[in-house]
Structure 1
Amino acid sequence: MTDEIPAHERALAFDRAARAYAAYRPEYPAAVFETVEEFGGLKLAGARVADVGTGTGLAARALRAHGALVTGVEPGAGMAAQFRRELPQVPVVRGDGNRLPLADDSLDLVTYAQSWHWTDPARAVPSALRVLRPGGVLALWWNDPDPDVPWVAAQQARIVARFGEGYYISDRTLPPGLAWRTRELRWSRRVSIDFHLAKLATHSAFILLGEAGGAQFLATERAHLLRDFPDGELDEPYVTTVSVGLPDAAH
């Protein structure tokens, strides 16, 4: 069960599925970056940014498109290699969010897109504050399936029954010592059932289950989805939660 697997092992499991992660995981809506600018009181154009736990570069690509000067920080060798294939023009360094391998007071913004829950906040917050310049900003965001949509809620119940409550990392407690503002953004993308299932297979619990075990679950899930979506396509709904933290004046 997912609950029994150490977090660091789950985090590094993504190395085994880096290409699929890049192909099937959702990007982030433009409103994420508008929110970061609004809440953080900064412009991304020209900002010096570290995207931590950058994975294959989904957030780094969008930040760069907004004009930011981005460096990716990624602990996994496989994910970092895929990042370099996806974004050869963007620097990426090996490291994790608890010990950022970056210079003091060097950044305007540190982002954790879909990755803060892999950190130890007691270490990650001081590390992020160390590399932020005075007035710098910390931003965290997550894409989550929208549980208010009935078919999503039904699917989540089946996944939890198979993998345990730990499949959905629900603790999004924001660390103390910063002034936080949070916004939820609802959006969806139209995909085929097979594309949606391929996306599910990039989650750490499926990767650790192994190809045979994962394939069995996904085949059963495909049958469930075809009953709801006989044409083979669905709207994959998301809630993206964006939290932007401003350090106190003492930083």
Structure 2
Amino acid sequence: MTVGSRAHSFNAAADRYSAGRPSYPPALFDFVEQFTSRPLSGARVADVGAGTGIATAVLRERGADVIGVEPGDAMAATFHTLLPDVPIIRGDGNALPLADASRDLITYAQSWQWTDTTRSVPEALRVLLPGGALAIWWNTTALDVPWIREQHQRIAHHCGVKPTSRARPDDSDAIRLAGLSGLRVARRQVRWSRVIALDTHLANISSRSAFLVLAEDDQRGFLSEERRRLREFFPDEAVEETYVVDLLVASRP
């Protein structure tokens, strides 16, 4: 299973991705504004790997002049359906279809890991205006919550991957070595939670890249058993998911 096949697997589940994936807390965007010393309102933003527009929608709500960049057909189609007034263009972070020095902010929500940093970093720097910033973040799993940690291990075992001791490997070294060492960089982690229906939680699981490449029978069997397990914890079928957003922001001179 290649990185490319996992990246493109989202196209087969755009509806599940849109229905199940969490958004992001206001504190994340507050910190981006604080770090860049400018409001998002009126900022020219490119949301790269925009998917179905989860982060794009929040950026627009904050008043940004935002455009989505997305390589996948189905994801882009769902984006257009959900955000018909927001422009979306086809492309990815390794070859941004954007003009030089045209954006105040470039964001990668859950998508930086699909890029080749030897290409995506120079591309970001090319497109950013002087004083512009690059913001990269992930909703990572709160593994200190027992039921979440146990589920994380079950999913990893079922998908044939090694469970991690933390939700996401530390990408900061790779990013720094890829060319951001000369920029002003800050990292923050923001803990937050949401309460959702059990069906929405299961849709979230089913939209993960390692899960999507499994056979459909394997997916259905796991989700059926997971539904049974979770009803023991959440008999009212209202599931509290807890996340820690891992955010890295870098600004250019």
Q: What TM-score does the superposition give when structure 1 sets the normalisation length?
A: 0.93
- Of 70, 95, 109, which aligns to 1:99? 95
Query: Match of 2:240?
Result: 235
- Of 23, 29, 43, which aligns to 1:27? 23
- The 2-side partners of 1:64 and 1:210 are apart by 37
- Of 174, 187, 190, which aligns to 1:185? 190
- The 1-side partners of 2:141 and 2:191 are apart by 10
Is the CA contact 1:72–1:90 (under 8 Å) kept in the aligned structure 2? yes
Query: Match of 1:137?
Result: 133
Q: For 1:239, what is the secondary structure of its paired residue? A: strand
Is the CA contact 1:117–1:169 (under 8 Å) kept in the aligned structure 2? no
Is the CA contact 1:35–1:242 (under 8 Å) kept in the aligned structure 2? no
Amino acid in the other structure paired with 1:170: P
- Give the C-alpha shift of residue 183 in structure 1: 1.1
Runs (4+) of structure 1 exceeding 3 A deviation are 166-169
Gap regions ≥5 residues in structure 2:
none
* Residue correspondences, number: 244
- The 1-side partners of 2:50 and 2:116 are apart by 17
Gap regions ≥5 residues in structure 1:
none
Query: Match of 1:85?
Result: 81
Query: Match of 2:162?
Result: 165
What do residues 167-208 of structure 1 show as CA deviations (whole Å, max 9, x unaligned)? Answer: 965342351223221111111111122221111001112221
- Of 16, 34, 38, which aligns to 1:38? 34
- The 1-side partners of 2:62 and 2:197 are apart by 29
Q: For 1:18, what is the secondary structure of its paired residue? A: helix
Q: For 2:172, what is the secondary structure of its paired residue? A: coil
Distance 1:89 1:112, change over 3 A: same
- Of 213, 216, 238, which aligns to 1:211? 216
What do residues 215-240 of structure 1 show as CA deviations (whole Å, max 9, x unaligned)? Answer: 11111222222222233222111111
- Give the C-alpha shift of residue 245 in structure 1: 0.6
Q: For 2:95, what is the secondary structure of its paired residue? A: coil
- The 1-side partners of 2:163 and 2:129 are apart by 36
Amino acid in the other structure paired with 2:106: V
- Of 142, 150, 161, which aligns to 1:154? 150
Is the CA contact 2:19–2:200 (under 8 Å) kept in the aligned structure 1? no
Equivalent residues in 2 for 1:9-28 (5 A)? 9-28=5-24
Amino acid in the other structure paired with 1:208: V
- Give the C-alpha shift of residue 142 in structure 1: 0.7
What do residues 53-81 of structure 1 show as CA deviations (whole Å, max 9, x unaligned)? Answer: 00000111110111110110001011011
- The 2-side partners of 1:230 and 1:46 are apart by 45
Q: What TM-score does the superposition give when structure 2 sets the normalisation length?
A: 0.92
- The 2-side partners of 1:111 and 1:166 are apart by 28
Q: For 1:165, what is the secondary structure of its paired residue? A: coil
Query: Match of 1:123?
Result: 119
- The 1-side partners of 2:24 and 2:187 are apart by 16
- Of 41, 60, 68, which aligns to 2:64? 68
